[in-house]
Amino acid sequence: MAPQDSAVSSESHLGPQQDHHHHLRSIPGEIPIPHGPPGDHDDDDYPVRDASADERRIFGHVTRPDDSYTPDGIYWADLPWSRRVGFVSKVDRESAAQELKTIGSMMKEDPLSPLSWYFRHAVIPGAGLGLEGYVLFSIGNLEPLFAQVWPECWDKNVTCSQNWIASVTYLEIIGIMVGQVFVGIIGDWIGRRWGLIQDAIIMFFGLLMLTASWGLTMEGWVICYAWSLFFYMLTIAFIGLGVGGEYPITATSSLESAVTAGKLSTREDRLHRGRRVTTAFLMQGWGQFVNQVLLIVLLVIFNSGSGSPPYSASAAQFAFRLSFAFPAIGTAWLVYYRTWKMPHASKQLAQAKSKSHVTGYDVTALRYCFTHFGGRLTATAGTWFCNDVFFYGNKLFQGQFIKVISNNPKSLMTTWTWNLVNITVSLAGYYLASLLIDNKLYGRKMMQQIGFFMCFLMFVIPAFKYEYFTSPAGIHAFQAMYFLSSFFNQFGPNSVTFLVAGEVYPTPVRATAHGFSACLGKAGALLASVLYAYIDNQTKFYVVPWFGLVGMLLTWLFLPVTTGLDLKEQERRWSYIRQGKAHEYHGVAVNPAHLSLWERMRGVGKTYDPELDWKTKIEDMRADWEAVQAARGPKETEGDAAEGHGMPDDGEFSQEIHNYFQRSSPKNIRSGGVLSEKIPENESAASK
């Protein structure tokens, strides 16, 4: 559980790629390095300088980290399946052993330290989603309570307009949708930090409004309640739009948290990036759990110590108002934490904009995103849409089996207790997803496909034998399918869509693309809530399963495989795309194993060449180093050299690399030599 940011092994991992040999011209006795694309002059006139053992030692841990490359320099995704299983399993075992050792060391110093680590790295990053999940689930839980206490309004629609009762759900979903899009844009335009802060502020005031909602008439209260909910989900206040944006802003900040610490390209990011994001996302499940427990306790306390009907109006008032007041306290703390304790949340975005010389919203990046990643948008938005039809469709099971299995199906305690069991099953799915989402032999794409397929089965089976499964004879099988659909929804598309909707896009448009995908997802929820109001229960089971097959097909065709892919490489590929040189990028981000079927059909993976990439990666590192030197100035750079400064602040430039680039700068070429520099053939051996 405790990530290790220690330096990766400095052992040499450079070597010729067995499956990608190119003709190399090398000096006898030297180990050849792969050469890059030819320049304006004839390559035959300039032999390539070869990598010395010292150069291999200096750059080996950066260009060929041992958690992704074999000792002979082959990338894990290029290995035959039998060798891949052995290599991946070995890396995972070593990582797990190191984490267990670290946890043991932590517990020796402080037995509770693993809990405090989990709180800092999972609970706090996901606190916004936890609070949002709490409130969203509370809305659905409170409606049956209102219907029993005030049936003339919430059930029979005599004193209240049916449209206003329905608007509680519709305004909730629409508010989320608009908030997701606009906060995503704000996150890429103004910064992640502002998006995090304004979301927390809006949640806080929205909870105060929900707690205090009132009206002179019952319908007046419903209207006030609905608009308070809408404010919580969406509000326009100068440049802030509501809590629906918690999705894109939490996802992007969790993905980039390693960057904020200056350690994007660490072993921890490659091995456990998915776990870091999904452990924040699963706080949504804990928010639902806490809400259900709190509502049960409050109703029992204020309904004369009994959870059985009838329920008094005062008990309903206390239960619903306190259920919103308690999370308001936690949200106030969240405002404080995000304002004063997260000063570097926008660091990676600022660096990306600086490299592209962009100060506002990167419109060019957005255009390139549609041009180069249109298939990925189809995958992330389309699969999220299909998933939310299932996510809300899961409620179809509950009412049916409760009617058969319970002696008192009208009791809210019965409904809420089964809700609590279902949430617990969902949490098991969340945690198992976090455990396996980074496994290179299973990973994101496989997890999502299997999850969609299992949800399809759990809905299509009762569709064609509905009478049997809703009868006492088949009700236990029906109940099992209900829980399995909850489990595989979390251990599948619900967790994966949240992660990949930000992971497969570059930094300048990551929040925008995630917000757009989440918005389309909530359109699926809106479709479900409207559609289910007009069709009977068995018809619902005929309709819903096919969204699982569609989601599975979209995943297979359009979703790339990002498991085990270093985000640094995605950013590096993006820099080539941004410069109009996409065809000159040869790294692992275009490895066919990391691309979708759609991208491979379009020929994106044809530029993959690990030998050419080795050289260009060093040149890219040199360019970054030189840019920093130029920005710092000669005197400042000279003064910092002895202290190990003057390198790009991304955690991968050691003092040795800094010294190497300093020795091999243009003014020192003759004395120190430059890696991969081309030397005229008429130079003396000594100068070589």
Tokens of 448: 């999502």
Span 511-564, pLDDT tens digits: 888 888 988 888 888 888 788 778 888 888 899 899 999 999 999 999 999 999
Assess contact for 512 and 184: CB atoms under 8 A: yes
Q: What would the mean pLDDT of 474-479 be, rounded to a whole number? A: 90
102-129: b or e for each residue (b if 16 or more CB lie within 10 Å)?
beeebeeeeeeebeebeeebbbbbbbbb
Residue 26 has pLDDT above 80, yes or no: no
Separation of alpha carbons 447 and 433, rounded Å: 8
Fold of 125-558: Growth Hormone; Chain: A; (1.20.1250)
- How far is residue 388 from each of residues 113, 287, 493, measured CA to CA in Å? 37, 18, 9
Pick the closest to residue 354 from 363, 343, 344, 362 (CA basis): 362
Q: Is the pLDDT of residue 297 over 90?
A: yes
* All CATH 1.20.1250.20 domain ranges in the chain, comma separated: 125-558
Q: In the predicted model, what is the mean pLDDT of residues 497-521?
A: 89
Which of these, 495, 494, 498, lies nearest to 518 by C-alpha position?
498
Q: How confident is the model at residue 103 (pLDDT cuts 50, 70, 90)?
A: very high
325 has pLDDT over 70: yes
The tokens describing 139, both together, are: 């809305």
Average pLDDT over residues 49-55: 56
pLDDT in the model for residue 15: 37
pLDDT digits (tens, 9 = 90+) for 263-287: 444 788 889 999 999 999 999 999 9
- Among 260-269, 317-326, 399-408, 634-643, name the most confident range: 317-326
pLDDT in tens, 228-254: 877 776 543 333 344 445 666 666 677
Which of 531-540, 563-572, 635-644, 667-676 shows the highest mean pLDDT?
A: 563-572
More confident of the two residues 559 and 60? 559
pLDDT number for residue 190: 74
Is the model more confident about 233 or about 300?
300
* Residue 686 or 69, more confident: 69
- Phi, psi dihedral angles at 390 (to 5 degrees): -70, -45
- Residues 541 and 536: their CA atoms lie apart, in Å, by 9
Percent pLDDT > 70 in the chain is: 75
CA distance to 64, 352, 474, per residue, from 55 (Å): 13, 29, 69
pLDDT tens-digit map of 104-162: 999 999 999 999 999 988 898 888 888 888 988 888 888 889 989 999 898 888 888 87
At 385, the pLDDT band (50, 70, 90 cuts) reads very high
3-state secondary structure 603-665: CHHHHCCHHHHHHHHHHHHHHHHHHHHHHHCHHHHHHHHCCCCCCCCCCCCCHHHHHHHHHCC
* Cα 536 to the center of its chain, rounded Å: 36
Is pLDDT at 627 greater than 70 in this prediction? yes
Chain centroid to CA 279: 10
In the predicted structure, residue 12 carries a pLDDT above the cut 70: no
Measured distance CA(436)–CA(464) in Å, rounded = 33
Q: Distance (Å, rounded) from C-alpha 317 to C-alpha 630?
A: 65
Nearest partner of 67 among 265, 271, 272, judged by Cα: 271
Q: What is the pTM of this model?
A: 0.81
Distance (Å, rounded) from C-alpha 617 to C-alpha 477?
56
Q: What is the mean pLDDT of the chain?
A: 79
pLDDT at 499: 94
pLDDT of 352 reads: 65
